[in-house]
Amino acid sequence: MLTKISEIHALAKKTKKKTVALAAAQDENALIAAMKAREAGIVDTILVGDETKIKKIAAENKLDIFGVKIIHEPDLTQACTTAVKLIRDKKAEILMKGNVSTAIILREVLNKDYGLRSGELLSHFAIFELEKYHKLLGLSDAGMNINPDIMGKAAIIQNAVNFMRMLGLEKPKVAVLSAIELVNPEMPSNVDAAIVSKMAQRGQIKNCIIDGPLALDNAVSAESAKHKNIVSDVAGDADILIAQDIDAANVIYKAFLFLQNGKCAAVIVGATAPIVLTSRSDSDETKLNSIALAAAAK
């Protein structure tokens, strides 16, 4: 059981070292995070982008890029194409977004000829270290899929479960959230939670235990679950939270970060390689943690 983000860093160092392909690497925050990860021995790095700008940013921030491979490609789309092809050609194992729009890099990721499609839905997966919770807590999908249907939600859960298993958790406990724990046909989140719970029982979602609907307090507090007479293998001990839509998940994500001072790491999963695609509002620490998270997955 992982309880600290620092354990993710330690796990990454024990795993066979991976290489990050940083697309449009002329981005100060992304470049700093990538170089810190390299200096910490977590990853190797290939920088793809405008070489002059990359070297200028490195000099201004006193970053040691001696010996780091730089592929000069000032065109943003071509930089993303090159970075994606490095993954495809097994010259790198992690894709990271630099100074380029999400739309451009994802278009290259999803390219039918050379992209990183796995046949699965791409989804955002975050993991948090929270002061009042006894272990690391996953959350999906706070940044990719807007309003997934039942099958989309099942895919999001499976992506999160598969990634947690790559971190060493054999059978993650998944709490599918709603406002109340009793099934109410008037509440779409209630019905969705009940359906995906039954899908897991029938083997349609594999290698996990799912319960829902569960309110957030029941999912993370055994005392709350006991008070409501909820008998569940998940309640009070969830490894992964699944929200109804991107609005709900994003509110939880930001509340954990800005109200609970949570430590966070996040990646895009469901492709043939993890993608570090952090928000501009994410801290340098979160970006570094996200690289470690991608590198720790076996």
Residue 168 covered by a domain: yes
- Write down the pLDDT at residue 112: 92
- Write down the pLDDT at residue 259: 92
- Write down the pLDDT at residue 279: 74
Residues 83 and 138 in one domain: no
The full DSSP string for 65-94 is -TT-EEEE--SHHHHHHHHHHHHHTTS-SE
Counting as low any pLDDT under 50, the low residues of the chain are none
259-273 pLDDT per residue, tens: 998 999 999 999 999
Residues 106 and 220 in one domain: no
Residue 133 covered by a domain: yes
* Domain termination residue (choose one: 118, 137, 156): 118
Residues 59 and 162 in one domain: no
Residues 51 and 164 in one domain: no
pTM recorded for the entire structure: 0.94
- Write down the pLDDT at residue 285: 87
Residues 253 and 169 in one domain: yes
143-196 pLDDT per residue, tens: 999 999 999 999 999 999 999 999 999 999 999 999 999 889 999 999 999 999
Backbone phi and psi for residue 163, each to the nearest 5 degrees, phi listed first:
-70, -45
128 by Cβ neighbours in 10 Å (0-12 / 13-18 / 19+) ranks as buried
Do 193 and 213 form a contact (C-beta atoms < 8 A)?
yes
Q: Look up the CATH number of the domain holding residue 168.
A: 3.40.718.10
* Domain termination residue (choose one: 118, 143, 167): 118
Residues 207 and 230 in one domain: yes
Q: Which domain holds residue 11?
A: 5-118
Q: Which two tokens stand for residue 234?
A: 């998940």
Residue 294 covered by a domain: no
